[in-house]
Amino acid sequence: MDIEKTLNKIGEIYSPLSNECQQELIANSKVCTFKKGEIIVREGQFSKKGYLIVKGWSRAYYLKDGKDISDWFTFENEIMASIVSFFSKEPSPHYIEFIEDSIVIEFTKDTVDNLSNKYHDFERFISKVVTITMLGLCERLYTIQFNKAAERYKHLLNIYPKITNRIPLTHIASYLGMTLETLSRIRNPKNRIWFISNDNSSISLTFVKTIKNGRKKQTTQINMGEVVGIYQKMVLPNLVDLWAIN
């Protein structure tokens, strides 16, 4: 594996490293491989190691009330570390897991400190890594608080267009702060259920049932209080779609 080529690529993303700095980083790092599903940091552990991903991807996640909540992902030419534990004396609040067989360059916090003191370009490099990482986390928090579910998903695709080809939808849903069912409806809009009312008192629903000669539509007016009853009837085997019209 050409480590120098990898360092040049990541330097283009964050900040370039001099050849001398690269050589010292290589001398104080090692290439590691991790299997799919391997957890390298657990909640409550201390971790002073960072990983530059050459091939594969990883994620950091919480376990909250038995639920798995993805906090961030890292792909090729990105750096994964337990941020809290790596930069402080606190234990990690995250688990870090590799979701594909991965090849990484492993380095320690001591190496980061030594190179930062010795090379200004490395100091700039680490500063840029931390800044971009924190801005990404802040942006995620903002989108969860203020953006609708569909907007969150669209924003994620703008950043990682092929993310659904590599990451299970359960992880994507938890990362976006929504249920898997909500994400599935967003990805398949024709299966959505819409309840729309101009006066908040009644809505017009169209039921679509599958018949041999095509689709048969039936429109009816109902009170908003009856919506729950209509929703419960959706389990009928011949009910294909249900949506509201004005």
My answer on whether 131 and 10 are in the same domain is: yes
pTM for this prediction? 0.71
Structural domain boundaries enclosing 134 = 3-146
Report how many domains make up the chain: 2
Q: What is the CATH classification number for the domain harbouring 112?
A: 2.60.120.10
- Strands (DSSP E) contained in 43-131 are 49-55, 58-64, 67-74, 79-81, 95-98, 102-108
pLDDT digits (tens, 9 = 90+) for 66-115: 889 999 999 998 999 999 999 998 999 999 999 999 999 999 999 999 99
Instruction: Provide the 3-class DSSP secondary structure of residue 63.
Output: strand
My answer on whether 12 and 84 are in the same domain is: yes
pLDDT of residue 35: 97
207/210 Cα distance (integer angstroms): 10
pLDDT digits (tens, 9 = 90+) for 25-69: 999 999 999 999 999 999 999 999 999 999 999 999 999 888 899
14/2 Cα distance (integer angstroms): 19
My answer on whether 19 and 128 are in the same domain is: yes
144/17 Cα distance (integer angstroms): 35
List the one residue out of 86, 127, 94, 92 whose CA is nearest residue 110: 86
Task: Please check whether residue 103 lies inside any domain of the structure.
Answer: yes
Q: Which residue has the higher pLDDT, 206 or 106?
A: 106
pLDDT of residue 190: 65
